[in-house]
Structure 1
């Protein structure tokens, strides 16, 4: 922070307390910029400032400001004219109120700055304001002047520093008229459940892990061209199945999100002609409970089936044994009966001798 050049010096007006501060940019751009060239020979294309009346190039020292009136006439405005403007915030960030953070519409937020304490005397009041903001869980709304106009700002605590977000004036934010669909659309509970499931599947992410992939790809192209090599080609995007309706799109999105996170997607009993649709529960927690119930149900059913099979086997074996015994008894009785019914053999007659 010590090596960052301040863009504005002044003070924070906190009631009767004045806190000397330096305004420094809190953000920086890493975008790759290009120059315009003449395609035929690679020469630089430059812009020159030319006076329309004299048709000649003029230097920066000869250029001033003017306001263009409705009829096209120019009204010159000098730096001296601007220095006499009745702005109490010319060198002061004047705090006008303390409000909850959710009172600030994000649409109003503009550029962000850090407020650095201006020397040792500013350390005590700076720390006082920072700790007061922390304890109150509020943000400060302030007015300040920068680059020739008065602006609105919001002060909040970031780490051990005080940051200020430039805010647009309320009348600079357009109302969202004519933006929302003008047709009557009904969203049912099942669609909302699928949307919730998709949100749960995507989960959260650490913002610090996000980066500008377009800039990285552009750097690769520039490096390849500088080395005289062919620039890398982007891979062909995967072509997905045709989405039949909103429900199919939501279900395919949930499935794709699960697969990208390494989770197993639930299998579907049926399939559609052009798109595979997976019916998933509304929320993860419900899915886990349902799976647990199904697993418990399967185990209980298995136990019941095993017990039933064992009982049936025992009953069958018992019946078989009883049947065998009865059959053997019948056979024995039949033999006895047969023996009784057979007539006794007559003794052979003896021949008399003469």
Structure 2
């Protein structure tokens, strides 16, 4: 499993060398945007709308908008210095709390923690202490130039770090529009709803839940692939140097080869409206 971060867990005078590994993965199917005419992938360029030119990375700076159209410029060196001052490569446990005190809305991402060299015994000690105390550790960590709150807990005999949002990052539920203040339902309706909930109540078995949309999309992609419904971008003509002559000749030969097994385009049926027009 790929290591994405190395550091240590510290609580009191205990220091545990650890490695972080992503506990989850994004399995979204990535679809590229293509030019409809030639099927070439679209480029997303950084263009200044005033100067009307594409910008190189060294022509771009970071800024914070303090008012409409007014920015404070932050140099990369200033941001790097601030990052180094904050980043100690440590997961510092500041409190121990009960897991049920944290609402799930605060949770962000999950990471597995494995012991680094010399950390086996201390790793096992923290794991055992968390299990027997029925507590989780509330910690701070700097990752990706951001200080984050995190929860350390045990999952299937492995320490897991869950990053959580700060309170000011969670929007207020009171700001959600059109939420009724009182229940305008009868007791009979409530009893019926509870009866339905009881009938649908079961043990949570995550393996029985699947992403049906992703499965159907992959089936569609596979059916198009096996049916040879494939497209390729048009080759861009380039001026060829003398040193690339053999490559250019071979490429020209390849481009002029007849396409095999190409089915003629199906004739389009004339619409009823068109027949009536005649």
User: Shorter-chain TM-score category?
Assistant: 0.7 to 0.9
Cross-structure match for 1:97: 95
User: SS in structure 1 opposite 2:213?
Assistant: helix
Which is richer in helix?
Answer: 1
Give the counterpart of 2:34 among 12, 22, 37. Answer: 37
Please tell me whether residue 124 in structure 1 is matched to residue 106 in structure 2. Answer: no
Change over 3 Å in CA distance of 1:88–1:57 after alignment to 2: closer
Stretches of structure 1 that go unaligned for 5 or more consecutive residues are 231-354
User: SS in structure 2 opposite 1:162?
Assistant: strand
Instruction: Write the deviation string for residues 327-347 of structure 1: whole angstroms up to 9, x where unpaired.
Output: xxxxxxxxxxxxxxxxxxxxx
Q: Partners of 1:183 and 1:112 in 2: how far apart?
A: 35
User: SS in structure 2 opposite 1:177?
Assistant: helix
Change over 3 Å in CA distance of 1:76–1:55 after alignment to 2: farther
Cross-structure match for 1:65: 62
Report the Cα offset of residue 87 of structure 1.
4.9
Instruction: Write the deviation string for residues 45-101 of structure 1: whole angstroms up to 9, x where unpaired.
Output: 111223556544344466553334424235132245433458555311110000011
Q: Pairwise mapping of residues 1-354 of structure 1 onto structure 2 (< 5 A)?
A: 4-51=1-48, 55-60=52-57, 63-70=60-67, 71-84=69-82, 87=85, 89-119=87-117, 121-179=118-176, 181-182=179-180, 184-205=182-203, 206-228=205-227
Which structure's relative contact order is higher, taking Cα pairs within 8 Å and 6+ residues apart? 2
User: SS in structure 1 opposite 2:174?
Assistant: coil
Q: Residues 83 and 145 of structure 2 are in contact (CA less than 8 Å); yes or no, is this contact kept in structure 1?
A: no
Give the alignment's TM-score, normalised by structure 2: 0.73
Give the alignment's TM-score, normalised by structure 1: 0.58
Q: Partners of 1:86 and 1:8 in 2: how far apart?
A: 15
Change over 3 Å in CA distance of 1:72–1:17 after alignment to 2: same
* Rg larger for: 1
Q: How many residues get paired?
A: 226
Which is richer in strand?
Answer: 2
Report the Cα offset of residue 22 of structure 1.
1.1
Report the Cα offset of residue 129 of structure 1.
0.6
Q: Partners of 1:173 and 1:157 in 2: how far apart?
A: 25
User: SS in structure 1 opposite 2:196?
Assistant: helix
Q: Residues 22 and 115 of structure 1 are in contact (CA less than 8 Å); yes or no, is this contact kept in structure 2?
A: yes
Report the Cα offset of residue 181 of structure 1.
3.1
Report the Cα offset of residue 176 of structure 1.
1.1
Report the Cα offset of residue 193 of structure 1.
2.2
Instruction: Write the deviation string for residues 142-164 of structure 1: whole angstroms up to 9, x where unpaired.
Output: 00101111110001001121101
Change over 3 Å in CA distance of 1:5–1:53 after alignment to 2: farther
Stretches of structure 2 that go unaligned for 5 or more consecutive residues are 230-278
Instruction: Write the deviation string for residues 205-246 of structure 1: whole angstroms up to 9, x where unpaired.
Output: 52221010000000111112223389xxxxxxxxxxxxxxxx
Q: Partners of 1:167 and 1:209 in 2: how far apart?
A: 27
Q: Residues 97 and 135 of structure 2 are in contact (CA less than 8 Å); yes or no, is this contact kept in structure 1?
A: yes
Instruction: Write the deviation string for residues 233-277 of structure 1: whole angstroms up to 9, x where unpaired.
Output: xxxxxxxxxxxxxxxxxxxxxxxxxxxxxxxxxxxxxxxxxxxxx
